[in-house]
Structure 1
Amino acid sequence: MTVYFIGAGPGAADLITMRGRDRLAASPVCLYAGSLVPVELLAYCPQGARLVDTANLDLDQIITELTGAHSRGLDVARLHSGDPSVFSALAEQLRRLDAAGVPYEIVPGVPAFAAAAASLGRELTVPGVAQSVILTRTAARATPMPPREELATLAASRATLVLHLAVQRIDELAPELAQWYGPQCPAAVVAYASRPDELVLRGTLTDIAAQVRAAGIRRTAVIVVGPVLTAAEFPDSHLYSTSRHRP
């Protein structure tokens, strides 16, 4: 058997990949985070599949479900919101499956930051403006950040910054970021990206926190900061530039 760690995408059920959908349809056991994964995806599971909502399970209980399926020779679809490569708690599951000798496969998905960029109608890497994207979070009520990954250190680059799991702290984060990006730097918050109840806020580091408070956004949102959000004057990409020499 195999455990398939499947990126379920940012929220819209039709943003799962075809490979993820097919792995889901072929797995008689499915573990999913009920608070984050769209319930519509469960319709792809085979009839009679064992469906396990992991929202209230700890890591040991999840691993017990996975190894139990292994002992019965059953494939498992383990649905993760977004893409498993970022902020998914995937690594500790893989470590335990490696120790137990349980095989697995990782199926990538559409990450939340990509869905947010699409909702904003912006490219996060614009020629001459920013060519790097930093995906990070803050340490409040979570695992401490490693040394040299403090927000001030990352913000000093002035690269496009995407903050996950941080919208509840935006009142303190916006002024801190303004020290590096400037108070008029464009900022946006996208909550429930790609879902029917999606909410997009646009502003600057001066007013974005007030907008978040007024909208009542407390979770399932990403913060995007950087000049790319409003960039209008920039050179064409070299790849498609009319001045590029072509043989």
Structure 2
Amino acid sequence: MGRVWFVGAGPGDPDLITVKGRRLVEQAGAILYAGSLVDAAATRYAPVGCLLEDSKSMTLEQISAWLIAAAGRCDTVVRLQTGDPGLYGALTEMVRPLDAAGIPWQVVPGVTSAMASAAAAGESLTLPEVTQTVILTRVAGRTPMPAGEDLEALAAHRATLCIYLSATLLPQVQRALRAAGWPAEAPILVVQKASWPDAEQIVRGRLDDIDQRCRAAGVDAQAMIIASPTLGAREWAELTASKLYDPSFGHRFRRAAEPGLAAEIGEGSSSANEIQ
């Protein structure tokens, strides 16, 4: 009996798969990949003779049956999924039949589109004294949201919101954030196919016009919506610096500088990292 590996292929760029994930793909006897979401190039690391199957037309039962059958023939079976398998990846539903059949399995995490989108746009999701919280969520569609997790309730925290699977529901996002007190001019970032070679699109706008901007750009699917008080911070006149790199802030790798010396270092006369 072989082992099934649930491997996060990352957000689209095949080079963003982890080293461990790529190694497993290279030695796999069978790979079931999410062809509707994973760039076909992600399978380019598969060895000659590997059984490759696209799951985009399969039901959950068919996916489970395929993995179980493959594990009976191959030592290494890879279920290659977009982003990270544990986030909107139906992981629990897929592993329960494996548990029942006594088939061992493991998960290799992957880069999720929230991080890839922030990277593509050159944005940080957290900033000192602005927000230290990131909420990964979605808007209710055919899958309802549990009680207390509607977008308006989450947006009331005024933290960073990374909103998945909601590109076609931007008007709902706008209404929820406005109802939670976000101003009309709040910056919004939408990234379609983050990191995908020759397919990535970045749309910036305000809360009151982001839907119009996305429609004009033809962005209506496979897009990450980021609403955050940190957006555009690199253009702010003033920014609170991280304590980690403050010369007066000591930790186990660096002793805090004396007040006078710390002021000199802060003015750029030396590097705080040189103080030991």
TM over 0.5: yes
Distance 1:71 1:17 in 2: 26
Alpha carbons 1:178, 1:185 under 8 Å: kept: no
Alpha carbons 1:28, 1:76 under 8 Å: kept: yes
Is it true that 1:13 corresponds to 2:14 in the alignment?
yes
Q: Kindly, what percent of the aligned residue pairs are identical?
A: 44
3-state SS of 2:85 partner: coil
Higher-Rg structure is 2
Q: What is the CA distance between 1:240 and its match in structure 2? A: 0.9
3-state SS of 1:122 partner: coil
Alpha carbons 2:30, 2:74 under 8 Å: kept: no
Alpha carbons 1:168, 1:218 under 8 Å: kept: yes
Q: What is the CA distance between 1:210 and its match in structure 2? A: 0.6
Q: What is the CA distance between 1:73 and its match in structure 2? A: 4.1
Alpha carbons 2:24, 2:76 under 8 Å: kept: no
> What residue in structure 2 maps to residue 240 of structure 1?
245
> What residue in structure 2 maps to residue 190 of structure 1?
191
3-state SS of 1:227 partner: coil
Distance 2:92 2:7 in 1: 14
Q: What is the CA distance between 1:191 and its match in structure 2? A: 0.2
Alpha carbons 2:8, 2:81 under 8 Å: kept: yes
Higher relative contact order (CA 8 A, sep 6+): 1
Q: What is the CA distance between 1:224 and its match in structure 2? A: 0.3
Deviation per CA, 1:39-78, whole angstroms, max 9, x where unpaired?
A: 1122211111111100000000001011111222442111
3-state SS of 1:34 partner: coil
User: Could you say what the CA RMSD is over the residues aligned between the two structures, in angstroms?
Assistant: 1.2
Alpha carbons 1:186, 1:203 under 8 Å: kept: yes
Deviation per CA, 1:9-66, whole angstroms, max 9, x where unpaired?
A: 1001111111000001111100001111111122211111111100000000001011
> What residue in structure 1 maps to residue 273 of structure 2?
none
Is it true that 1:101 corresponds to 2:102 in the alignment?
yes
Unpaired runs of 5+ residues, structure 1, are none
Alpha carbons 1:175, 1:183 under 8 Å: kept: no
Distance 2:74 2:37 in 1: 28
Distance 1:103 1:69 in 2: 13
Unpaired runs of 5+ residues, structure 2, are 257-276
3-state SS of 1:96 partner: helix
> What residue in structure 1 maps to residue 151 of structure 2?
151
> What residue in structure 1 maps to residue 91 of structure 2?
90
The one-letter code sitting in structure 2 at the alignment partner of 1:176 is A
3-state SS of 2:225 partner: strand
> What residue in structure 2 maps to residue 177 of structure 1?
177
Distance 1:21 1:172 in 2: 38
> What residue in structure 2 maps to residue 121 of structure 1?
122
Summarize the alignment of residues 202-241 of structure 1 with structure 2, pairs less than 5 Å apart: 202-231=204-233, 232=236, 233-241=238-246
> What residue in structure 2 maps to residue 75 of structure 1?
76
Alpha carbons 2:139, 2:173 under 8 Å: kept: no
Q: Which moves more between the two structures, 169-178 or 48-57?
A: 169-178
> What residue in structure 2 maps to residue 132 of structure 1?
133
3-state SS of 2:224 partner: strand
Q: How many residues align?
A: 246
Q: Which moves more between the two structures, 4-13 or 166-175?
A: 166-175
